[in-house]
Amino acid sequence: MTEIEELSRGRPVAIVGAGLVGSGWAIVYARAGLRVKMFDRDPEITRKAFALIAGQLARLHAHGLVAEDPAAILARITPAATLADAVEGAFYVQESVLERVDVKRQLMIDLDALAGPDLVVGSSTSGIPGSAFALGLGLSARVLIVHPVNPPYLVPVVELVPSPETVPATVAFADALMRAVGQAVVHVRKEVEGFVLNRLQAVLLREAWALVQDGVASCEDIDKTVRDGLGWRWSFMGPFETIDLNAPGGVADYAVRLGPLYQRIADSRRHPQPWDEGLIREVEAQRRERLGRDELEARRAWRDERLMAFAARRNAASDD
Amino acid sequence: MTEIEELSRGRPVAIVGAGLVGSGWAIVYARAGLRVKMFDRDPEITRKAFALIAGQLARLHAHGLVAEDPAAILARITPAATLADAVEGAFYVQESVLERVDVKRQLMIDLDALAGPDLVVGSSTSGIPGSAFALGLGLSARVLIVHPVNPPYLVPVVELVPSPETVPATVAFADALMRAVGQAVVHVRKEVEGFVLNRLQAVLLREAWALVQDGVASCEDIDKTVRDGLGWRWSFMGPFETIDLNAPGGVADYAVRLGPLYQRIADSRRHPQPWDEGLIREVEAQRRERLGRDELEARRAWRDERLMAFAARRNAASDD
């Protein structure tokens, strides 16, 4: 039995809310072999979703990103006439309705009335913590945030955020499901506004906007700085691995060398929090657990190989 | 006559400081067809630089990133025994010495004594503004910051930062030279600490470190959030284009929808500066100049094509 079969035991996923987010999820689940039932209070939105999904599946196939016949994948997705119809027999609900607390709360109440004892509900919200809409119900232990990047069938990262009432088994189940359908799981361990992804985007964007406001650089030049500079490494390494490889002695060395510059930059925008010794030790320890000190050099060679391959691909891409 | 020939008129580039940064620059200039003279006060460093350059050129060739015979490129780079020997006849100096104000100031004084009337000097410093070491000399009008990302022969972005004494003709010359050798130019219009690239990196890193400190996510999960999420789009679009395409009405629409969330995230780290109406208008105007409102939809289709091509390449890369 595959991981997917073990998790689903032949039952479908229900997607509630058939807009852009719900449609993207339908592709992820159906591509992985799962049956998908789609529901939206507005049948016109569901109709549009099927057209969008069919078009995207054809393009994914053309790019070699799905091997299976797109028609076969599409055939696994069916519309549901009512919420009860969608949830009937489902092992998992992907909530993808409007980004409003009252709408999400009402849906949780409705799902609570319909759900069997082992139904798990993942919410696609990009910023509303579960505490705001998922507490105090029989279902609450089995609700968590499962936040995708758009479109999830291309960009794999998914943030999992439990509420204070979510039980660990629910998080473990969602983690296994996401890995089984090919997503990259990030565990957000506390309910912070914006979770991790939007917090990182927020601080970079705010500095970017401030630099424009101060007349330091144009939007295009800032885009170019990221697109032709920072983004290259971040797209296959992330910020910690990037700096870990950018000082002879790894990330702690980097922090000692460049921490003061970053502190001055931060102070000029009035952040607090210096990188103190305890934190440096903590980050260093986490990095060293991923990559031993004696592996740093080999990993830098790996980085350079990736950069070269990436550069070759970008050249090929700009030639066509 | 090519752009390179017009700018150089057959004269070489002098690279002063033959460490990692100087070596990277040597590849950029020699690859573009220019003769390069390398000088370092420590001949052992110059010797090592030649070995590094030879190795890197071979790998660039193997990856199809340089078409010319690596030996022919290498033959255009020659060591110089003294600073005077390096600068003799050069049309441009790429200063790549130690990141210390006193060292850079002394070099500017030495160059001032050696320079002909049209020599331009670009400093590779990643954060020290020209005001700190390049003012009050005959040469000052022809000195500016030309800050690369490491390694510059793979990652194209270069920040140009004039000091208050740099004349516009010097900036125009450096802009033309950088484009001619294949770099992507970013104009930093005011001397701010960290310029643009390191400021953007600094704010993202500081939030990343703070999230680790607060126990919200691990280094690896934060890396994954960027590597498998934010970094994909940033690596070919930059942050402004990304958000411009992420709301139906473009960047101003995005600012109205998500500005409050970002403000709350920012407040939780005590930034100032809300995205006020004037700034929103300014950013919107700059974006609309790059991409008309009626071109947004087509550009989103282009973005999805790039994302698919990128995903296909990443799959190929992780298969090998």
CATH of the domain at A138: 3.40.50.720
Do A175 and A30 share a structural domain? yes
Q: Is the Cβ pair A273, B230 closer than 8 Å?
A: no
| pLDDT beyond 70 at A273 | no
Here the tokens at position A283 are: 């980050």
Q: Could you give the number of structural domains in chain B?
A: 2
Q: Is the Cβ pair B230, A234 closer than 8 Å?
A: yes
Task: Supply the CATH number for residue A282's domain.
Answer: 1.10.1040.10
Return the amino acid letter for B92: Y
Strand B157-162 to B143-148 pairing: antiparallel
Do B151 and B229 share a structural domain? no
Selected residues 254-313 of chain B with any CB under 8 Å from a CB in chain A: 261-262, 264-266, 268-273, 275, 279, 282-283, 286-287, 290, 304, 306-309, 311-313
- Tell whether A193 is covered by a domain: no
- Tell whether B166 is covered by a domain: yes
> Greater confidence, A194 or A295?
A194
Helix (H) or strand (E) holding A213: helix A197-213
Percentage of chain A exceeding pLDDT 70: 87
- Tell whether A68 is covered by a domain: yes
Residues from chain B that touch A204, judged by Cβ atoms under 8 A, are 200, 203-204, 239
- Per-residue pLDDT of A279-296, as tens digits, reads 665 657 666 776 777 877
- Tell whether A168 is covered by a domain: yes
DSSP 8-state class, residue B229: I
Tell whether A227 is within 8 A of chain B (Cβ): yes
Do A142 and A21 share a structural domain? yes
Do A156 and A19 share a structural domain? yes
Q: Is the Cβ pair B283, A209 closer than 8 Å?
A: yes
Tell whether A79 is within 8 A of chain B (Cβ): no
Give per-residue burial for B144-156: e unless 16+ CB within 10 Å, then b. bbbbbbebbbbbb
Phi, psi of B80, rounded to the nearest 5 degrees = -115, 140
Do B172 and B119 share a structural domain? yes
Choose from B265, B270, B300, B314 for mutation: most chain A CBs within 10 A: B265
Selected residues 43-72 of chain A with any CB under 8 Å from a CB in chain B: 59-60, 63-65
Q: How far is A229 from chain B (nearest CA, A)?
A: 5
The DSSP result for B60-84, as a single string, is HHHTTS--S-HHHHHTTEEE-SSHH
Q: Is the Cβ pair A187, B150 closer than 8 Å?
A: no
Query: Smallest Cβ distance to A194: which of B151, B198, B261?
Result: B261
Nearest CA among B120, B123, B88 for reference residue B103: B123
Return the amino acid letter for A216: V
CA distance A72 to A54: 11
Choose from B201, B284, B318 for mutation: most chain A CBs within 10 A: B201
Tell whether A194 is within 8 A of chain B (Cβ): yes
Do A131 and A15 share a structural domain? yes
- Tell whether A178 is covered by a domain: yes
- Tell whether A192 is covered by a domain: no
ipTM over 0.90: no
Selected residues 141-160 of chain A with any CB under 8 Å from a CB in chain B: 149-151, 154-157, 159
- Per-residue pLDDT of A209-226, as tens digits, reads 888 888 899 888 999 999
Tell whether B194 is within 8 A of chain A (Cβ): yes
Do B282 and B176 share a structural domain? no
Strand B92-95 to B13-16 pairing: parallel
Do B176 and B201 share a structural domain? no
Domain boundary among A187, A213, A230: A187
Q: Is the Cβ pair B238, A227 closer than 8 Å?
A: yes
Give per-residue burial for B27-44: e unless 16+ CB within 10 Å, then b. bbbbbbebbbbbbbeeee
Domain boundary among B135, B152, B187: B187
Tell whether B35 is within 8 A of chain A (Cβ): no
Query: Smallest Cβ distance to A156: which of B127, B211, B228?
Result: B228
Residues from chain B that touch A184, judged by Cβ atoms under 8 A, are 224, 228-229
List the pLDDT tens digit at each of the 320 positions of chain B: 889 999 999 999 999 999 989 999 999 999 999 999 999 999 999 999 999 999 989 988 887 888 899 999 999 999 999 999 999 999 999 999 998 999 999 999 999 999 999 999 999 998 899 999 999 999 999 999 999 988 888 888 999 999 999 999 999 999 999 999 999 999 999 999 899 999 999 889 888 888 888 889 988 899 999 988 898 888 888 888 888 877 777 778 778 778 778 878 877 776 444 445 666 656 576 677 767 778 777 776 666 665 556 556 655 655 44
Do A162 and A204 share a structural domain? no
Residue B8: per-residue pLDDT: 95
Residue of chain A minimizing CA distance to B127: A261
Do A182 and A77 share a structural domain? yes
Residue B136: per-residue pLDDT: 98
Tell whether A100 is within 8 A of chain B (Cβ): no
Nearest CA among B130, B195, B174 for reference residue A221: B195
Four-CA torsion A108, A110, A111, A117, nearest 10 degrees: 110
Asked if residue B255 lies in contact with residue B282, where contact means CB atoms within 8 angstroms, the answer is no
Query: Smallest Cβ distance to B202: which of A201, A266, A312?
Result: A266
Choose from B186, B263, B276 for mutation: most chain A CBs within 10 A: B186
- Tell whether B9 is covered by a domain: yes
Measured from the Cβ of residue A64, the count of other Cβ atoms closer than 10 Å reads 13
Average of pLDDT values for A176-197? 95
Nearest CA among A123, A299, A259, A199 for reference residue B225: A199
Query: Smallest Cβ distance to B215: which of A151, A189, A275?
Result: A189
Q: Is the Cβ pair B269, A268 closer than 8 Å?
A: no
What integer best gives the mean pLDDT of chain A?
87
Do A175 and A206 share a structural domain? no
Place of tokens 């701010």: B192
Do A107 and A246 share a structural domain? no
Domain boundary among A165, A187, A209: A187
CA distance B299 to B233: 13
Q: Which stretch of A27-36, A194-203, B29-38, B233-242 has the lowest confidence by average pLDDT?
A: B233-242
- Tell whether A29 is covered by a domain: yes
The domain of A279 spans 198-319
Q: Is the Cβ pair A196, B206 closer than 8 Å?
A: no
